[in-house]
Structure 1
Amino acid sequence: MATLLRGEVRAILQPAGHAQYQGAYYPPGVPFKEVRRGPFDGKADIAVRPDADGELPRHMTFGGGRVVYEYDGRDKTGRAVYRYSPVLSPSHREVMRGVAEVYAEHARVKEGQ
């Protein structure tokens, strides 16, 4: 677990909710669960620092800004919940193309059995 500095709040990264995945690129043949999944989901050793006005940052980015998580309130334990945002993540379309290729390959292998 991350050591909290004064004012910091523990955070957790989660898969996209409805607000985050609405309108996201969704290739044919890929299960919907893959569209919602972000590369850092479940990561809980994160802390965020509120802005000067006391609000938590709206977005958290990774990979040079290519992966975006969006603030979605707090959980029962008081942690800040950030959900993967495929719509705001520049890498999402590229990743989904790769996922679609893997699913297509598995389907071809399965047909050949």
Structure 2
Amino acid sequence: MATLLRTEVRAILQPAGTAQYEGAYCPPGVPFAEVRRGPFDGKQDIAVRPDSDGALPRHMTFGGGRIVYEYDGRDRQGRAVYRYAPRLSPSHRVVMDGVAEVYAAHALNQAQGGQ
């Protein structure tokens, strides 16, 4: 783990909570639980720097802004918790369409007697 600068706060990335995934795109045939999953969930070797007023940034973006995590308070260890925000992530629809293809291929394989 990297050393924190004096003003930085450790952060952890988590799957979306209800506030983040409610109303997010979910293609037919895909369990809604898949919507919660973000590509960086569990990442904890990051830090954020508070604004001049001490508030933490509301959003954290990755991939040129295509993946968005939203601030959701602090955990018991004092880390800033950022949750995947599918409604705010421009890449979410494309990723979910890819997940739908995998589910469809699996269902077809099962229907044909595959494992």
Q: Return the TM-score normalized by structure 2.
A: 0.97
CA distance in 2: counterparts of 1:10 and 1:74, whole angstroms: 10
1:75 equivalent in structure 2: 75
- The answer on 1:88 being equivalent to 2:93 is no
CA distance in 1: counterparts of 2:2 and 2:15, whole angstroms: 21
Offset of residue 3 of structure 1 = 1.5
1:52 equivalent in structure 2: 52
Task: Give the aligned residue type for 2:56.
Answer: L
Between the aligned residues of both structures, percent identity stands at 81
Offset of residue 8 of structure 1 = 0.4
2:66 equivalent in structure 1: 66
1:12 equivalent in structure 2: 12
CA distance in 2: counterparts of 1:74 and 1:110, whole angstroms: 43
CA distance in 1: counterparts of 2:45 and 2:102, whole angstroms: 30
| Root-mean-square deviation over aligned CA pairs | 0.5
Offset of residue 82 of structure 1 = 0.0
1:98 equivalent in structure 2: 98
- The answer on 1:23 being equivalent to 2:12 is no
Flag structure 2 segments of 5+ consecutive residues without an equivalent.
none
1:109 equivalent in structure 2: 109
Task: Give the aligned residue type for 1:89.
Answer: S
